[in-house]
Amino acid sequence: MQRHVALGEGEFAPGTVYLNSASSGLLPARSAAAIRAALTESASHGTMGRDYFGPAARARAAFARLMGVPEERVALGSSVAVQSAFVAASLPEGAEVLVAEGDFSSLVNPLAARSGCTVRMVPREALVDAVRPGTALVAVSAVHALDGRLADLAAVREAARAHGARTYLDITQAAGWLPLPLADFDYVVCGAFKWLLCPRGTTFMVFGGERGELGGPGWPVPVHAGWAAGEDPGESNYGVVDRPAATARRYDEPHAHYSYVAAEHSLGLLAEIGVPTVHAHNLALAEQYRAGLRAAGYVPESAPGSAIVSTPGLADAEPRLARAGVRVSVRGGLLRAAFHLYNSTDDVARALELLTE
């Protein structure tokens, strides 16, 4: 068997066998160092530091490069739920939103809470065929957080396009390990604290698709914009922001400074290694784990091509794994393991040893 050692040499030294990136990722050493420096700086220069916008701008650019999207199409936020509420607010009265049953609540719930709109839920495997005339928005996670299933993104995009619906894609469980074609989706949101190795409070929104001139009818109203979204934030502190930024920065929230200080370094590490390399590494480990489970008589949920492996009948093992220093999670009665760049074949072997002893 080919040995897969951890990637990112010198950046990670976890005190556990960490197989829980689907819950949150590990922070690279370079990112932790940047936060410590920012905290020290804050003792003399305040919690916005000496340069509040610089790290955020560099993180935006790093995310855009990693995802292959134009930087001017990327906005900064704090959570997927806030961005979903923003997308919901952009919908016309009476709009139908199509979502997959059991998709992540931060994506779905703000859409369902939108007064005057109807959310229609269908089984994930039926999503493509369920798009119909009158569907205004199709919202789906690229990778299902519960069991790791991958959505057929090309089919979703084409079905929505055929019926004139916009698309809203959540890549929180995909960005950082799964190569993704994003340009043709109208909205793409990413909570970056999982596979992108950023702190919580780091979220990106991509405005894709054909939209025309910024500020025209193809672009939503920046209903939650504040002073940071002005073309010159120094002139946008009081009253109505009459000159919003000339890029998607007009949709920025005032960002969590320390989170974005670290984000530029975490994203830089992933760029150095390369998403295709991480993808191959993660899938090899996940397949090794699946094979070991099957050999022991367990049947993981079917999720071809996924770095997330969820298995029924093993939820009770989670406390025992935790006591032995192996971090996994339980979701929906399934034992969920997630394999990322800092994992190795030794990690897989240790988890299987504990599960099959």
CATH number at residue 328: 3.90.1150.10
Q: Residue 3 above 80 pLDDT?
A: no
- Please indicate, yes or no, if residue 109 is contained in any of the structural domains: yes
Q: Does 145 lie in the same domain as 80? A: yes
Q: Does 329 lie in the same domain as 200? A: no
DSSP, residue by residue, 264-318? HHHHHHHHHH-HHHHHHHHHHHHHHHHHHHHHTT--PPP-TT-SEEEETT-GGGH
- Please indicate, yes or no, if residue 123 is contained in any of the structural domains: yes
Closest listed residue to residue 192, CA positions, set 306, 59, 100? 59
Q: Does 250 lie in the same domain as 188? A: yes
| Chain segment 276-305, per-residue pLDDT in tens | 999 999 999 999 999 999 999 999 999 999
Share the mean pLDDT of the chain.
96
Mean pLDDT, residues 65-84: 96
Q: Residue 357 above 90 pLDDT?
A: no
Q: Does 308 lie in the same domain as 204? A: no
Global confidence as pTM: 0.96
How confident is residue 97, by pLDDT bands cut at 50, 70 and 90?
Answer: very high
- Please indicate, yes or no, if residue 5 is contained in any of the structural domains: no
Range of the domain at 254: 32-271
- Please indicate, yes or no, if residue 84 is contained in any of the structural domains: yes
DSSP 231: S
Q: Does 231 lie in the same domain as 278? A: no
- Please indicate, yes or no, if residue 9 is contained in any of the structural domains: no
Of 243, 271, 299, which residue is a domain's last? Answer: 271
Q: Does 160 lie in the same domain as 55? A: yes
Cα separation, 200 vs 196, whole angstroms: 11
| Chain segment 118-173, per-residue pLDDT in tens | 999 999 999 999 999 999 999 999 999 999 999 999 999 999 999 999 999 999 99
Q: Does 296 lie in the same domain as 249? A: no
Q: Does 23 lie in the same domain as 44? A: no
Q: Does 290 lie in the same domain as 217? A: no
pLDDT at 212: 85
Q: Does 300 lie in the same domain as 236? A: no
- Domain count across the chain: 2
Residue 270 is encoded by which pair of tokens?
């992933």
Q: Does 123 lie in the same domain as 48? A: yes
Q: Does 246 lie in the same domain as 289? A: no
How confident is residue 2, by pLDDT bands cut at 50, 70 and 90?
Answer: low
